[in-house]
Structure 1
Amino acid sequence: MLLRLPTSLSEARRCLADGAVPVGGATLVWAQWQRDGFPEQAVSLRRLPEANAVDAQTLGAAVLLHQVDERVPEVLRRAAASIGTGAVRRTATVGGNIVGSTLRCLLPPALVLDARATVMDGDGPYEAELAEVVAKRPLMLDIRWRSPLVSGYYKAPGEAGGPPPLVVATAVHAEEDGGRRLLTAVRDGGEVLSGSVPATADAGRVLGALEGTALGGLPGEARDVVRREVADVLGRADA
């Protein structure tokens, strides 16, 4: 297998045009390739500057999970720190978790940040909704988001090899009209659900509004966790 390491967008585009398969951190695909056979070519973005950015509104797809630090919102930082073991976090990438993983621990945080992805095909880079990224699995360069006022993340304890643990991500954003909006995303089993409602001063009203979104169909235990996490993030937004 030839591993290609582009250093520019034009070179990365040529790799895709030549049929190179995205490899990410190889934590997910290596075992599959050992079982099913290796591709002729793979492409890694670890030397591409655009895929290694980390700042208050951008996270590159080639960034290793252990490199996700205080430069990004709390919800993303805590999510990255909860994934796998230290050894996994020193190898796995942001793009591999969102695009290649079935667990996608970073997807709920990205949703509550109202993030969009920059992806690339043979014609070059373009912006895409996260739903498209999950469905089509393109080569992802980065995610970009609106900076929230506050955010929070909860991941239930889980066992290795067991079912995906419950994940609840929350964020409160300022709106252009002076109001605020609460975004909440939940991974329950293999499904990710989200809801967006006005973040008024009345926490009970906010929680009632969330019941009218897709989150209203969650089982009781998950809804209890959502209520707790939403109350916490609203309280910190008002502090």
Structure 2
Amino acid sequence: MLLRLPTSLSEARNCMAEGAVPVGGATLVWALWQRDGFPEQAMSLRSLPEANVLEREALGAAVLLHRIDDRVPEVLRGAAATVGTGAVRRTATVGGNIVGSTLRCLLPAALVLDARATVLDRDGTYETDLAEVVAKRHLLLSLRWRDPVASGYHKAPGEVGGPPPLVVATAVHTEGDGRRRVRVAVRDGYEVTGGSTECAAGPDEVLDALERTDLGSLPPAPRDVVRREVSEILVRATDG
């Protein structure tokens, strides 16, 4: 197998046109390739500047999870820190986790940041939402968002070989008109459910409004965790 390492977007497009299979940290595909056979060509974005950005409001798809630090909001930092083992985090990438993984541990965090994705296809780059990235398995270059007022990440304890643990991600943002909005994303099993509402009313009214979103369809136990996490993030946003 030939591993190609493009250093520009034009090189990356050429690799795609020539059939190179995108690979992140190979933590997910290596075992499959050993079983099913290796492709003739693979492509890593680890040498592509656009895929390696690490800033307060941007994160590249080729960034290794163990490199994610306090330059990004707490919700993303918390999500990355709980993926697998230290060895996994030193090889797994942002793009591989969001696009290639069935667990998508970083997806709830990206959703509550209201992140937009920059993707690459054979015609060039364009911006889209995360739903399209996940559904169509685009080649992700980077994520960008507006810095939240406060954010948080909760992951329930899990058992090795057991079902995916519950994840609740939260963030409070200031909108363009100055009003604040809380966003919540929950991974329950393999499904991710989200909802948002304005923070103009009191905590009880905010929680009741979230119950009227898709979050209200969650089972009772995850809904209790959502209420706790939202109550905490609203207090932190007020204190901040």
> Which residue pairs with 2:169 in the alignment?
169
**Counterpart amino acid of residue 169 in structure 1:** A
Instruction: Tell whether 2:199 aligns with 1:213.
Output: no
**Counterpart amino acid of residue 19 in structure 1:** G
> Which residue pairs with 2:42 in the alignment?
42
CA distance in 2, matches of 1:136, 1:176: 30
Provide Cα deviations, 1:117-150, integer angstroms capped at 9, x if missing partner: 1111111111111001101111110111111000
Instruction: Tell whether 2:65 aligns with 1:72.
Output: no
TM-score computed with the length of structure 2 as normaliser = 0.99
CA distance in 2, matches of 1:84, 1:194: 24
> Which residue pairs with 2:51 in the alignment?
51
Secondary structure of the structure 1 residue equivalent to 2:92 = coil
Instruction: Tell whether 2:89 aligns with 1:89.
Output: yes
> Which residue pairs with 1:194 in the alignment?
194
CA distance in 1, matches of 2:220, 2:196: 20
> Which residue pairs with 2:112 in the alignment?
112
CA distance in 1, matches of 2:132, 2:161: 28
Provide Cα deviations, 1:189-216, integer angstroms capped at 9, x if missing partner: 1100000100125000000000110000
Task: Give ranges in structure 2 of 5+ residues lacking alignment.
Answer: none
> Which residue pairs with 1:28 in the alignment?
28
CA distance in 2, matches of 1:42, 1:68: 25
Which aligned pairs between 1:147-186 and structure 2 lie closer than 5 A?
A: 147-186=147-186
> Which residue pairs with 2:13 in the alignment?
13
CA distance in 2, matches of 1:20, 1:232: 46
Task: Give ranges in structure 1 of 5+ residues lacking alignment.
Answer: none
Aligned pair count? 239
Secondary structure of the structure 1 residue equivalent to 2:76 = helix
Secondary structure of the structure 2 residue equivalent to 1:76 = helix
Q: CA deviation at 1:45?
A: 0.3
Deviates more, 1:118-127 or 1:225-234: 118-127
CA distance in 2, matches of 1:218, 1:138: 29
TM-score computed with the length of structure 1 as normaliser = 0.99
